[in-house]
Amino acid sequence: MNYPFQKTKMVPVPSHSIIPERDLGKTPILECQHLGVDFGGLHAVNDLNLAIGRTEIAGLIGPNGAGKTTVFNLLTKVYQPTRGTILLDSVDTAGKTTMQINRMGIARTFQNIRLFSNMSVEDNVKVGLHNQERYSAAAGILRLPKYWKKEKAIHERAMELLSIFDMQDMANWKAGSLPYGAQRRLEIVRALATNPSLLLLDEPAAGMNPSETAELMKNIVKIRDLFQIAILLIEHDMNLVMNICEGICVLNFGEVIAKGTAEEIQGNPAVIEAYLGKKKEG
């Protein structure tokens, strides 16, 4: 399968990383410097340097247990880093809580789907929109005109977001009763509802068949073009990664072993060794 996605020219930036040339004029949306976390004596992630351009689709790959999801948990402050800094749009995120990080612009999906499965599809999106539309408690209790106006705006926004994946018709379904692929799509919509500038997708294609994956690839690019945001994804489906990711970072045992474009990564001996093992001598 080949996709007509243009190959992006990548250029190096200070933190030993590369970003797309078109994003060069602006500060990277995310910069990790010497990021690390220890669990007991184990360096789960060590000395991670990573920069992501403002409209880049970046990939984070590596064998099982390499620390990919741990990186997501560090970025969203589910874990507090032991070492290093995370700059989100040049703002240091040290000491911030998960909730504050979301409000600063990082949204994510989960490897194992974590929707609010007893709530309706629309309500799931509305939870994401929670902080976008504000009205006072008084307006909410007294049902002032402002409340209705805002509620209408929230409803319309939710429908608009669902329409990205043609899910408007499922708005009243219970999220838990959706088919698997639709649940994965709903997670992305819910994350988008929080108005992120960086979207983290944790194995978005897991459990999908090839045609669903092809659809997903188109949609990831569509989301980037539509919202003009950066997307960092973890994925084991190499077809997806090599086709849509502009910058790719390879982790193994918590360390970065390679960084570059799809072509550079595919030919990198360290990467091949990490995935397939060492070639037997002789």
Comparison of 187 and 237: residue with beta carbon closer to another protein: 187
Q: Indicate which single residue of 9, 16, 26, 103 sits in contact with another protein (rule: CB under 8 A).
A: 103
**Residue 204 CB, nearest distance to another protein (Å)?**
16
The CA-based dihedral angle spanning residues 66, 71, 72, 75, taken in that order and rounded to the nearest 10 degrees? 180
**Residue 66 CB, nearest distance to another protein (Å)?**
22
Q: Does 126 bind another protein (CB under 8 A)?
A: yes
**Among 257, 184, 196, 265, which residue's Cα sits nearest to residue 224?**
196
Q: Indicate which single residue of 190, 203, 230, 256 sits in contact with another protein (rule: CB under 8 A).
A: 190
Size of the site for another protein (CB under 8 A): 27
Q: Does 110 bind another protein (CB under 8 A)?
A: yes
**Residue 64 CB, nearest distance to another protein (Å)?**
19
Q: Indicate which single residue of 78, 138, 142, 226 sits in contact with another protein (rule: CB under 8 A).
A: 78
Rounded to 5 degrees, what angle do the CA atoms 154, 196, 22 make? Answer: 130
**Contact window for another protein (CB under 8 A) among 30-38, 114-122, 221-229, 231-239:** 114-122
Q: Indicate which single residue of 80, 85, 117, 163 sits in contact with another protein (rule: CB under 8 A).
A: 117
Residues in the site for another protein, rule: CB under 8 A? 76, 78, 97-99, 102-103, 107-108, 110, 114-119, 123, 126-128, 130-131, 140, 190-191, 193-194
